[in-house]
Structure 1
Amino acid sequence: MSEKNSAGKRSARERLQEERRRDQAREKRRRTLIVSAAVVGVLGLAAVVGLIAANAGDSSDSSGSGPVAAPTGASGGDQPAIPVGATDAPSTLTIWEDFRCPACAQFENAVRDTMHELTDSGQVKVEYHLATIIDGNMGGSGSLNAANAAACAQDAGKFVPYHDVLYQNQPPEPDDAFARDAKLFELAAKVPGLDTPAFRACVSEGTHDGWVNKSNEAFRAGDFRGTPTVLLNGESIFPTKGKEQISIENLKKWVAEANKGKKPGTAFPSPAAPSAPASPTAG
């Protein structure tokens, strides 16, 4: 009996040890996938946002009527975008996002440092396309107002830091705080040199609303599932690239693979000085 008891105790110990090893392996994987805590939770949320975007009407004013004034250095074509990084970077990340979208905030806040590293080193150029689907789904105008403010920050050469501040301070999805100019001015004060009379006038007057609406039209016509939509050289990488889950490590690996044998970009645009808004063009 004692031998059986001893064997039973060993078996129980071995099971506990095996469970501990499995727990440790899971914890190691959790720590290694830096984005997992922020991005894995995004996946279901992004799917929900995509489902809502696909099935709900858009009540926001995205008719494209009225003047379309592209912000300084931005593209005003069929798919308006704000470019960040070297113009001759060997790869392009295309990101469609909405400043009211929780999944977008979780994604951006998780990959921010990596994105800066990739753009600053000339590995990628990022093209930011701004959408307003949450305004249409939830009501309000915060998506449009924040996107216009970000475009105004682009006029001042401060799109990236203001873009980051907006996501770091994103209100809960039902709270349309970004519809209030005062909130956008408060956040602009966190970006040195941005909160100027020119910026405030640009925000208050909705200078780039037509341009944002045109971008949102392009999003709706693009048959995308939701925001964020992230493409590397035209191939979707969010939430997965093929069978691989997005993570910091995988994002760097995918860019390195895409850039193999290619030189980093060096043609960085000169920092824009604050200037008058672009002249409106027919929308």
Structure 2
Amino acid sequence: MTASFESASFEEQYFSGAALYGDDFDAARIAGWYGVEARDPAEDFARTAPERPGYRYEYHALNHRHAFRFLAGRRFRQALAFGCAAGDDVAPIAGQVDRFLAVEPIERFWKSDIAGTPAEYRRPTLGGRIDCADGANDLTVCLHTLHHIPNAGALLAEFARVTAPGGLFILREPISTMGDWRRPRRGLTANERGFPVEWLEERFARLGFTVMQRRFCSFPLTERLGPLMGVSLPYGNPLLVRLDEAACALTRWNIAYHRDSLRKKFAPGAVYYVLERATTPPARR
């Protein structure tokens, strides 16, 4: 049973990274999680971002540096793009993909192609089941979406199921609690939280993924440095992305899951993984 917010063990269990909040929710609590987010103005604003005048996707240089450049020379029959909105995040690799399967809850983002590559959109399910055959995707991409989902472990298992043996899985997620989610947090939805690195990597090993690349990013001062340099989209700028990479390399020793002091905040805020699916099923644990 999940500890309540008032439980004395809550901080020990979840803020320590020993367990992931929400991962053991039953169906009723999963529904409650999404019910809160659906009424959250911050979530509504984030979901309408692609329709704002002058909107440009913010992370192209970051995605290239830490993930997409490692796909050079490969061709993918089908790629799963999970939580991709209108597909701006995966558009740069569309030329390497024959077909996209896009899982996205907001139907007004749905379209028939992503950057000229045919795309079929489907809705996610409450429990995390993906409407897709086993091993159907040579590439699975989930960028900055998993932390909004309570039963993240179940969804990672689905990613393993639908990724072909020898296929690749690209994931980018925050690696801190993102503050104390028992209280309102400015600019964040009610329940989102990042992932302890150890929790992620234990799951990867259990599911038969091999870590090909682990790349830390999102140093807390990078977004403030951008405007000082006249750069409106810091993570779309290759120079700032390289500076961010250097800052994260120098401070990775300081990574903590719950960053409840100023000192703990000076560390990478997120991580990219490029993972390869095992060609044989992992041993049962």
Question: TM-score, structure 1 length as denominator?
Answer: 0.24
Q: Choose 1 or 2 for highest CA Rg.
A: 1
Higher RCO, Cα 8 Å, sep 6+ = 1
More strand by share: 2
